[in-house]
Structure 1
């Protein structure tokens, strides 16, 4: 039984009884004749044995580089696409006696092909220690997020995302690819958070979607939940609180979530309902977040933690904002003070400046609701001392709400209110987020 040709080219070569050496000579001759016919300098085109074997065996994607297509068509009178495709049922010319032969060249080439394929497969991996280092760097960045300059966080997260993407290009080992996708998703999530803090809402949204997609590829529930929670947060910042509720609902459906992840989503849900003016739903979400305690953990929000975590001080700070949206000055002041106490209880060097700053401003906003101008000024003093690079979008938005409140009754025209308003304007104009962001602070948190 005759061996079946894999390509029309192979069939035609067999019919002619050509070895590789004969094919190469005919190829070089055809190339010279084509060049002469075109009035071009003598061609030096040739074909390597490995290339010949790939052509005849059908291991070619697309068309060969020039001048191969023209040369092959000149040699055989068929289109190069047909030559490199299966014979499509064409039988050999019965008048031609041929038999596929196996010679030393075939054996050697087969051995080289096998060795090359094995070598390619072995090279499509990365050292596990490289991925270990990438994991460690992401954990360190996430845990140091609130104590690292936002500009440095952005630079480092961008670098880590590039490394993770490079790992994906270099490895085909499923286990390694899963780790690289997770690292890429985590890096994109950190980039989204810092883009928001630096005042770029559109970049933050795009990066959160990127993170969610990486999580989808590896079906990682906690990463998808975190990313959808971030998108929900960004949705009500864009004036779409109903969309934020929908995104939270989606996030809550992912599997493998621990208490921290679920608490974070409930807090975001409370804020979204606060923007919608749904007091009952907002307060229900706040209570559920505070009461949640099953002991469940996950590998992102708890094991990596840091920016992916949602500790008690952050819960309290965010709940203060929700109470402000509901017009509950007492609830807001209590939550803001709780956040500040929890931050103060942490060791030096571990106190999140972004959280404490926002809590101070929310405390000022609560006092503003009660008409306590002296209390407003006292609450803002620590915030005014924050370096410009730490004045994130969340802080600027809260400050904008205070500024608006100071221009209304009963404070309108009061010298202390005017002076405090001017101080807020200077604070905002100097902020890195205000300089980097494309728009001025939003007003929806007010």
Structure 2
């Protein structure tokens, strides 16, 4: 005898009545459950066709074994004992007379209960969502210590989990949180793609995904952050006018938002400075500083380059240094660097110390009286600071310093820097963290 269970109803609703479709969904849920429950063996659990047919027909005594029951809970966000309850039991007392004297039929009490559970259930268990959120925060916290190569796999797994959850059913409050997390995960992958020298098309695809998901969640801050990351990707491919346009589009979403600080100084100012637009670059720096002064909750010290929090003043000045260097304002570079030097020395951000050091070294070469030895010392120190897990910007700026010092190539200090740069680039850990396969969409 075939029983219509809640499980059978859910299979019909989700298009999983075919064994192959169910097996695929069950396999994805098994991977999620293995991570959420910290039980790796769950990822290896499979359901045979015979078992699936028995479950579908309601020919099950009790509930599936513990491992399968755990995976089913992640797949349908419902305890297994509820999944295999009857969904079509009739209740003899559910009819009431209709106005015209006929009989109005109602669902049975158990069916009503099953349908209610379906409407209010979510495949996004709160504990699972909390785990995803914590994992994403962990990626951000470890990013400057480990770099994209070691973290991109973990982040892509989070993205897959979130996409799977979003393909299921959740009440609106849970769905908004999932869209928010999925948007930020895509944004982080976009940032990693920039740092890894991945093709700009990959960067743009992740940023577009982040923007669309953030829009669904009503998350304007993440939309702006994604626009800033797109601008960064364009900047490092030399498309400076487009980089400015992308950053300006982000600012236009909310010109007075603290997120606009990053867009102005990292996006607009640096790109405009590269194109020689002095007035525009200076205006962008000035606007970023004004916005910073208006904030009362900016982080102290040097905020992480990949963080979603607004730029701290030190991070803003570090970006202003790069823009000022492109404008040829060497004294402003040195002044800003002196201002943030104590914060840099206390910062755990090796990349920030390396980048500021390379900018200052280049500025020293462009003074009326070039300080060649001092510049090369700073250059060598920067290579040491950024050697563990360097990113595209460190690699690029180290090469640019070498180019600027080329006219003094016979000077011992410049030769020493060139030798160290050559050796640094030959180390596997110092290569740009390009791993195109790791950034498949």
**Deviation at residue 386 of structure 1 after TM alignment:** 3.2
User: C-alpha distance in 2, partners of 1:240/1:281?
Assistant: 17
Q: 1:60 to 1:330 in 2, by over 3 A?
A: closer
Q: Secondary structure at the residue paired with 1:253?
A: helix
Residue 186 of structure 2 corresponds to 188
**CA distance 1:105–1:201, change in 2 (3 Å):** closer
Q: CA deviation at 1:438?
A: 7.2
- The CA distance in 1 between the partners of 2:427 and 2:213, in whole Å, is 36
Q: Which moved more, 1:110-119 or 1:285-294?
A: 110-119
Matched ranges for 1:20-419 at <5 A: 111=108, 114=112, 116-202=114-200, 203-255=202-254, 258-259=257-258, 261-267=259-265, 268-292=267-291, 293-295=293-295, 307-309=307-309, 310-344=311-345, 346=346, 351-370=348-367, 371-386=370-385, 388-407=387-406, 409=407, 411-419=408-416
TM-score, structure 2 length as denominator?
0.67
How far apart, CA to CA, are the structure 2 residues paired with 1:418 and 1:61?
66
The answer on whether the counterparts of 2:147 and 2:391 sit within 8 Å (CA) in structure 1 is no
Hey, what's the Cα distance between the residues in 1 that align with 2:250 and 2:141? 23
CA distance in 2, matches of 1:331, 1:275: 16
CA RMSD of aligned residues (A): 3.7
Structure 1 pair 381–280 and aligned structure 2 pair: CA distance change class (3 A): same
**Partner Cα separation in structure 1 for residue 13 and residue 165 of structure 2:** 26
Deviations 1:53-110 (CA, angstroms, capped at 9, x unpaired) = x9xxxx9999x98xxxxxxxxxxxxxxxxxxxxxxxxxxxxxxxxxxxxxx9987995
CA contact (8 A) 2:321 2:337 kept: yes
1:285-338: CA deviations, max 9, x gaps?
Answer: 11221222333779xxxx999612322222122111111111222222222333
What SS does the corresponding residue of 1:200 show, helix, strand or coil? coil
Structure 1 unaligned segments of length 5 or more: list them: 1-46, 66-103, 440-446
Q: Mind listing any 5+ residue stretches in structure 2 that lack a counterpart?
A: 19-87, 93-105, 437-441
How big is the shift at 1:116?
4.8
**Structure 1 residues 436, 384: closer, same or farther in 2, change over 3 A?**
closer
Residue 197 of structure 2 aligns to a residue in which SS? Answer: coil
Shift in alpha-carbon separation, 1:356–1:423, aligned structure 2, 3 A = same
| Deviation (angstroms), 1:427 | 1.7
| Superposed displacement of residue 170, structure 1 | 3.6
**Number of aligned residues:** 341
Alignment CA distance shift 1:61-1:212 (3 Å): closer
Q: Specify the SS of the correspondent of 2:418.
A: helix
TM-score by length of 1: 0.66
Q: Tell me the SS of whatever aligns to 1:238.
A: coil
Asked whether the equivalents of residues 211 and 223 of structure 1 are also in contact (C-alpha less than 8 Å), the reply is yes
Q: How far is the alpha carbon of 1:144 from its aligned partner?
A: 4.0
Closer, same or farther in 2 for the Cα pair 1:438/1:149, shift >3 Å? closer
Distance 1:395 1:60, change over 3 A: closer
- Which deviations, in whole Å up to 9, do the C-alpha atoms of 1:363-414 show, x marking residues without a partner? 111112233210111212322223644211110110110121122x3x1443
- Bigger Cα displacement from structure 2, 137-146 vs 389-398: 137-146
Provide the residue aligned with 1:427 in structure 2.
424
Say whether the 8 Å CA contact 2:222–2:308 is kept in structure 1.
no
